[in-house]
Amino acid sequence: CPHSVVGVDAVHQLNTANSATVCLATAHFAKFGDACSMAVDPLPEIPKQLSKLWKMQIRSSNCPNDAAVVQAFMEKRIEERIAKHAARDERKKMLKKVVLVSAAVGALAMAVSALRRR
């Protein structure tokens, strides 16, 4: 929904976004413009960051109206996201090691080749 970008942008402005960040949507006048304009005229300008939201992938989940169920759902999703990013970080570390070893082997091969030509 359009107002979600406001919370996401706030996290980015505060430089607190990371792979475990979760943003829950809060109401914003841009979503309820018609209703809000009955109470406030003129409405404030819609944030430019709102346009980013229209390009983002929509993700949604349905939970029953039960705080314990919603909390368990959120904890599970956060744990899954942390595990996913941890696995990705491990793959990156391994790739860096492979690249370094490959570069070292290549440099050694070039040195051996140069020595053999002498």
In tens, the pLDDT along 25-75 reads 666 777 777 888 888 888 887 777 776 776 788 888 888 988 899 999 999
Please report, in angstroms and rounded to a whole number, the separation of the first and last CA atoms in the chain. 70
- Rounded to an integer, what distance in angstroms lies between the CA atom of residue 99 and that of residue 116? 26
- Rounded to an integer, what distance in angstroms lies between the CA atom of residue 36 and that of residue 27? 11
Cβ-count burial 41-51 (b if 16+ within 10 Å, e if not): eeeeeebeebe
Whether the pTM exceeds 0.85: the reply is no
